[in-house]
Every structure is written in structure tokens, then in C-alpha cells.
Structure 1
Amino acid sequence: MTEWIFDRDAIRSFRFVASRLDTQTGEVALEYRFDDGPVLIERLRIPGAPFVLDGARAVAVGRALDLLHWIAGVSYYKAAVPAEIVFESSQPGLAARGLLGEVYRLGLGEFAYRNRIDLAVRLNFPVPGPSPVAAPVLGLRRQALVAIGGGKDSLVSIESLRALGVDQQLAWIGSSQLIAACAERTGLPGLKIERAIAPELFEFNRQGAYNGHIPVTAINSAVLALVALLRDCDQVVFSNERSASYGSTIEGSGEVNHQWSKGWQFEHDFAALLRAEVAADLNYYSLLRPWSELAIARQFARIDGYDRHFSSCNRNFHLLGERPAERWCGVCPKCHFVFLALAPFMPKPRLVSIFGRNLLDEPQLAAGFDALIEYRDHKPFECVGEAIESRAAFAHLANSPAWREDALVARFRDEILPQLDASGLTLEDQLQPAGAHGIPFELAGKLRAHFSA
């Protein structure tokens, strides 16, 4: 038998082969393949097995497993982006097919831009299968399964839920020691979900596969929806803010959103599909959706106890594990933005102590901060706030005795601010909640009061 060789441009089909859950061990297997190549198996392990599933719960778990299988396939599909997509086992109905089209087209927006691929031409899901019967009410236990990522946002959600008396347990995917340490610091019960990408994918990358950013939050959301059903939780809670819905405006390409699956469109459509086709009483939402990054930074600054544990620096995390380095690299867009967002709300010595340096007094970092305010550059392809938020933070610091003489603040005040429209450049303008959200009614009012206190 001739050995199958990955040839990106010769591949014609991507195939969803099968998905399995072993209720005795909690192991999940998701299978894919290109053409007649080897079966690619992604594996997860969900703690708490064995799981006993009754009739309605078993059906809901099966549908959640299908949804995870379809969404997680984006990690593999992108390696070749073939025109034909085949479902060899379960077939998505009309609503699920619509969601998948969004996840693969918009969630791969940055990937497509960087690789110069027209997904509108190449992405071709087949005709949908029959729509499933309406999801039942399962009587899930009132408990929030909260995604923790080790950064300020999820910690704000966790402490807000604690203050409001909401029963919660934490969950994270992968083996990050930083996330585990943050979870332990909360004092709340936590679940580490193991995930192993099919090893063949790394070999495909060495053989010329397309590579780039994928909608990780969409995958993690599907994982936690399955976990919630197995662990009997009625809520899956993420910590995505209002500004996640807005991308980078690229001349000639329009808007490209690095964090599309953190935005409101995905949240709304994924939550609706879960309620309609998986479990009618399973709620999925972002607790922080109405607020800006600056409002969340203000809330985090009010919290004690995490300064030495949290990090939003993405260089701490990558597919093959965690970097054994300092928690803040100081040179990536996430470090720049988090420092800038926290500066209006934290005493300067505290913030400098967290980062180990004053990033706003390093002239060589000017280009990175210019991108944050969309001055001579577009917003970085990173999970950072809108340009108006960064401009408002700079404008506030320009009037602060503690910060105004630092190199980049002084440069903003003297060189950049005179060129900008000053409307909306006050912190107060950026701190008010606004926009659509999916926060349950009984929480929304209490949460708004909590943030305003």
C-alpha cells in the first residue's frame, strides 16, 4: 500500500468521520481525514467519569458531542482548505450548518487574510440534513461552569459571581500551570479538561499546510457545553467584553476580527442553537458583554490577591504548551494594552510591580502603542480593546501627575492628541455598559449595580 503523502494543493475533500464519548472514562475522540488519508484523532478527557446518562440527557450529550466535532474540525480543515466537505456520520441541520458557516468563514477571517485565501469561494458546506426535534428541558442543576483563562477578565467574572452569590465551578482546557495557579488562588472547585490535537497535524505543518489563527473560543465553548451537560450545570459562562465584537479595519479588505468567536454574533448564535437543539435550559453567555475593556480593567483594579498570579500575555500560551518565562513579556500587544488599560485605575507602583517595568516610559515601544490607538497602523490582530478606549486611557494619563511625563504619554499629549477628534476621549464615556447581551435577567441588574458601586 502506497504511503499517503500530505499535498495541500492536491487535497480535494475534508471529512468528518466520527465522534465518540466513553462514559466510563470521560474520553472523547473526534475523527477527521483528508480524502483517503489517515484518520486524524483529537482526544479530550473530561474529569468526573463515569457518567450516567438517562434517555433525554443522553440525546442532549450526543448532540453536544456532534456540535463539538463539527466546530473543532476547523483546526484541521484549515490545513488544506479543500472545496468539498463531507459528513460521514451525523449531518448538521439547517441551523447548525448556518453556525458552522459563520465559524469557518468569519472565525478564520484573519487566517484567510494572512494566507490570501477567498473562503467565500472555497468554503462549501453540503446541503443540511433534517433539523432535530426541539431540545428538551433537562432540569439541570443551578450552577455556573465558568471558563478561566488566567487573565484579568475571567477573574473579574469569577469575583463578580462570587459577590452576587452564584454557585460556580471553574474549567479550563489544557495543561497551563499559570491558569491552574489562578484557579487554585480563587479557592473554587476547578476542572482541567485535557485536550490533545491529532499529532499528524504537526507533521502536515512541516509539509506545507496552511497555518494561522483559528476561532479558539468557539472550540472551547463547544467543549464546555458538553462538560456542562456531563457535570449537570445549567450555565456556561465566558468573560468576553463588548469590544470583542469589533475587529481591525484593513485597507482594501474591510474588517477582520481576530477575536470573532469572542464577539456577540457568535455568542448569540451559539447560545440560540444550544437552547433549540441541545438542552432548552442550558444557558451560554458572557458575563462581561455590556462593558468595555476599560470598565473591566477598573473592576480588576478593585480586586486584591491576583497581582502575582494573573497574566494576559499570549506569549505564555501556545499550542505546544506554556512558555517557562516571565508572566509578562512586555513587547506584545496584549502586554501593551493591559498595561495601558490598568494605568488609569491602579497606583503606579502597583502596576509597575506587576509588569516589572514601566512600559509607558520606553520610547522603543511607540509603534506597538500607536497600533492600539490606530495611529499610522491598524488595530493589532490580538484580543485588545478598541482604539477609542486606548485613546481615552492615554488622554486621561496625559492629565495625570503620576504619568504625564512618561515618554509615551508625553509623546501622545504633544504629538498625537492635537491630531485627534477629542470627542469621546473621556474615561467616563468608555465606562458605561451598552449594547446587547445574553446575561440572565435575574443577574443583569445586580451585575450592573455591582460594577457601578
Structure 2
Amino acid sequence: MDTFIFKSATYDETSQTIALGYAYLDGPEFSEKIHFPGAKASLNDEERHALDLAMRQLHLAAGISYYKAYCPRDIRVENHRMTKEEADFFFKFYRHGLGEFSVENNIDLSGVIRFPVTSNHHLGASDIELPSSSVVPIGGGKDSVVSLEVIKAAGKPHHMIAINAGRPILEVMDAAGGDAIHIKRTLDPALFELNEKGAMNGHVPITGILSFVMACGAILYGYDSVVMSNEGSASEGNMEFAGIEVNHQYSKSLEFELDFEEYIRLTALKNFKYFSLLRPLNETGIAALFSGLTHYFDTFKSCNRNFHIDEGERKYGWCCDCPKCRFVFLALSPFIKRDRLIDIFGKNMLVDMTQEDGFRELCGLKGHKPFECVGEIEECQIIMRTLTTTEWADDGLVKMLAGELENPTMNVSALKASALTFKYDHNIPDEFLESLNEFIGS
């Protein structure tokens, strides 16, 4: 399996489906399908051209799921000639997007990934006018709920959007009310057969892939802005490996956000906007805002077992024994009453001493930051210290770990004020930044 081939990317208006073709030379072929229910019944020439440009980039992005099975040095693109801009962007996307995968499989991809430059020309983006409307991707957790409520409070035209929505996402959407777009992405089953036979597997930059899907959706549904819900602390890496900082949340980082928006505007859609509304805040600030949205308490879920790629393996609820559950419990504990938070999760993780190592990792007292979408080590430390001033103070893990930390001790009011102060660079358009400020101040 020494050559990976990008074969084709097509859109069928009748079935409202994009088909992406890939193959290994003298090996398996793959066909991925992405279905856009409710998309425009027919596209004019300008819309079709814009979709072809966006779909070309989606094809290159989604291929990472199949390329990672063997990570060959030889990459071929059969359906178009590749520009230097494309080769440079996707080298970085694959190199950093497979950073965690590299650690898991102990492989240095720096000299392996090679996208061929076969064109001396530059791509020109479509200047098609997109309708002034936003989509807010709903992930089922607290962050996207906060973004959605900011947009709703501001009265901005919007839709919720989800790709392969399962029970938690659907329940959050029901709780929110309003219009929703549902997209279905189907990976080729042949990929899972390869994994079962021993092909390499591991983390891919799923947020990045789905961002390219939503760029195509801008033409098919009619919107000009994708409002993400990635916090400032998503830019913090987990560890160093093979010459790069490995970040589980690479495609949620500000670096990717800026790269992606610039790239789409350069190669596909000049009038497309892509930004995270929560970027100025850390996870603690988002938790403080979410704590006032009580009608979501019994529906939101962040535990990854709800979102397993194999629908048959999904389990609903909170497992209360993984980095995501530990972190979300910790982040919300200063802002939600103790009994209510325990009721939401079904367990008090701060008295479960078997979880000591997991909380030590979150607080930087052992190992490295978990390969999960969790907050910064420093904010976990500050929250743990703050809990010593609350009704959680006598819980076993609070007493043990807070005593080992040297961070200043705050009360909850001071923690909230600090967490809602903007700390990070961002890419938010002025009119949306004003809406965020108004929501924080309400």
C-alpha cells in the first residue's frame, strides 16, 4: 500500500449527495458519501462552480481518514492538478491533524506526507454572494449551547447544524427549539475492515473535516457564516513529539481557524466567514455562562461514548470515568449547586478516589494533559483551589489535590469575574463580538 490516490469528487443534485472517491494503488478503493437533506433542488452555474471549488477542498481534507491506514509517501491526485497553495495547506493539515495519531502509532510523519505540486497556476475563489445568515454547529455539550444562546439573544438569523446527530445532539436541539440542518456523513465500511485487519488507526482532525463539509453547505443551504464554539484554551497543546507540538484539539485551535478561513476565501468562497464565538474565553468562562442555562442541564452530554463513530457502540449519558467527564464536572462545580451537579452526572467524581490519577493529569500533577477536549492545566488548578472555599471543600480529591497546588485561592465570584474577562486573541467579526459582550453582561 505504497501509493494513496485521490480519485473523484462529485455532487448529485437528485440525491443531494457528495461522493468522494479514494484508493490505494493495487489495493482497496473507498467511496465516502455525504448527504445534504433539504439542500437546494437545483443549482445555477455560479452556484455549481462555487460548489465544485469547495468540494475539491473537501475531497482533499476527508481523505485523511483513509490515508492514515498506511500513511504512504506517494500521494497522487487524479481528478485535478494540485497547486502549491493546496499542497502547503494540506501538508500542515495532515501533519498536525495526525499529531496525536503519530504518538499513538509511534510514527514520525514529517518526512512522509508529500502532496505533489502539479500546477503552476493559482486557484481563484468564487465571489458568489451568500445569504447573510449563520449556522451554529451543535455538538451536544455545553459550549455550542452557549454560542447558540448568544446568537438567539441577539436576534441574528441562524440555523442549528449537525453532522451525524445522535441522541444527545437531537435532545439539545429539541431543548433549544428552532430550525436545524442535518447532514449525514458515511465513511466507507471498507475502512473499518482494514482497521480490523491491522491497518493503522487513531485520532483524525474531525472538526477540520466537518468544517470543509459546512463550507459546501454554505452553497447548498445558503449561509455565509459558520459560528464555532471553540474556546481559547483549545489552542494549548498536549505534548511535544517528532518536532511538533501535538494538540488533540488542533482543528479547534485559533491557528487552524485562521488558516482555514483564509484558505477557503482564497480557493473557494471569497465571502465565507468562519470563526469561534467563544475564542476569547477559557473553559471556565464558558462553564460560568452555561450554568445560567438551566433548561439544558438534563440534555447536554460531553462524554465521548455518546458520539462513538460506530453507532452500535454508542452509550447514552455520562460514564463518569473519562477525562471529558472529569473535566466538565470540575469546570461546572464552582457554578452549579453541589446536589444539582451530582444529580446531572449521577455521581460525585470528587469523592471517588479511584479517579485520583485522572484529576492529577488535568491539574498537571502527573503525566501530560489528556488527549481529550479539556481545559488548560492552569485553569483546572485554579478551579481545584477555588473549590476549597465552597461546599465541595471536604470532598476527598479536593482536599488532597488542592493542597499540592500553589495557585492563589479565589472565591467563586472572583473566579467568575476573572474567567469572563477576555484572555485570548480571536477572529470574531465586530457585530458578533458585540453580541457576546451583551450576553455576558446580561
Q: Any conservation in 2 of the 1:28–1:43 contact (CA below 8 Å)?
A: yes
The alpha-carbon distance between structure 1 residues 325 and 198, as it changes in their structure 2 partners (threshold 3 A), is closer
Partner of 1:411: 400
The alpha-carbon distance between structure 1 residues 92 and 342, as it changes in their structure 2 partners (threshold 3 A), is farther
User: Which amino acid in 1 is paired with 2:255?
Assistant: Q
Query: 1:253: how far off?
Result: 6.7
**1:16 counterpart (6, 21, 24):** 6
**1:93 counterpart (70, 83, 99):** 83
Aligned pairs for 1:155-304 within 5 A? 155-250=145-240, 255-304=245-294
Which deviates more from structure 2 when the two are superposed, residues 14-23 or residues 438-447? 438-447
Matched-pair identity in %: 38
State the secondary structure of the residue aligned to 2:14.
coil
Q: Any conservation in 1 of the 2:82–2:117 contact (CA below 8 Å)?
A: no
Corresponding position: 1:436 with 2:435: no
Which deviates more from structure 2 when the two are superposed, residues 119-128 or residues 251-260? 251-260
State the secondary structure of the residue aligned to 1:119.
coil
Distance in 1 (CA, whole Å) between partners of 2:432 and 2:179 is 22
CA RMSD of aligned residues (A): 1.9
Corresponding position: 1:120 with 2:110: yes
Number of matched residues?
439
Query: 1:273: how far off?
Result: 1.3
Q: Any conservation in 1 of the 2:305–2:316 contact (CA below 8 Å)?
A: no
Distance in 2 (CA, whole Å) between partners of 1:62 and 1:150 is 31
Unpaired stretches in structure 1, ≥5 consecutive residues: 1-10
Query: 1:36: how far off?
Result: 2.4
The alpha-carbon distance between structure 1 residues 123 and 254, as it changes in their structure 2 partners (threshold 3 A), is closer
**1:447 counterpart (415, 436, 441):** 436
Partner of 1:314: 304
Q: Any conservation in 2 of the 1:244–1:262 contact (CA below 8 Å)?
A: yes
Query: 1:251: how far off?
Result: 8.2
Corresponding position: 1:42 with 2:32: yes
Query: 1:167: how far off?
Result: 1.1
Corresponding position: 1:63 with 2:38: no
State the secondary structure of the residue aligned to 1:172.
strand
CA distances 1:77-113 after superposition (whole Å, capped 9, x unpaired): 0000000010001234222222211110000000001
Distance in 1 (CA, whole Å) between partners of 2:123 and 2:395 is 61
TM-score of the two chains, using structure 2 as the length reference: 0.95
The alpha-carbon distance between structure 1 residues 80 and 324, as it changes in their structure 2 partners (threshold 3 A), is closer
CA distances 1:301-346 after superposition (whole Å, capped 9, x unpaired): 0112111111010121111116553410000000000000001111
Distance in 2 (CA, whole Å) between partners of 1:129 and 1:423 is 59
Distance in 2 (CA, whole Å) between partners of 1:252 and 1:140 is 42
CA distances 1:208-245 after superposition (whole Å, capped 9, x unpaired): 10111000001110111111111110111211111111
User: Which amino acid in 2 is paired with 1:190?
Assistant: A
CA distances 1:139-194 after superposition (whole Å, capped 9, x unpaired): 21111111111010111110110011111111111141221121122111112211
Corresponding position: 1:147 with 2:137: yes
State the secondary structure of the residue aligned to 2:110.
helix
Partner of 1:367: 357
State the secondary structure of the residue aligned to 1:192.
strand
State the secondary structure of the residue aligned to 2:192.
helix
State the secondary structure of the residue aligned to 1:305.
helix
User: Which amino acid in 2 is paired with 1:431?
Assistant: L
CA distances 1:15-58 after superposition (whole Å, capped 9, x unpaired): 00001110122111100001122321011110114532222221
Distance in 1 (CA, whole Å) between partners of 2:137 and 2:220 is 16
Distance in 1 (CA, whole Å) between partners of 2:125 and 2:242 is 43
Query: 1:257: how far off?
Result: 0.5
Query: 1:134: how far off?
Result: 3.4
**1:26 counterpart (6, 16, 22):** 16
Which deviates more from structure 2 when the two are superposed, residues 428-437 or residues 216-225? 428-437
Query: 1:449: how far off?
Result: 3.3
Partner of 1:376: 366
Distance in 2 (CA, whole Å) between partners of 1:49 and 1:244 is 32
User: Which amino acid in 2 is paired with 1:226?
Assistant: C
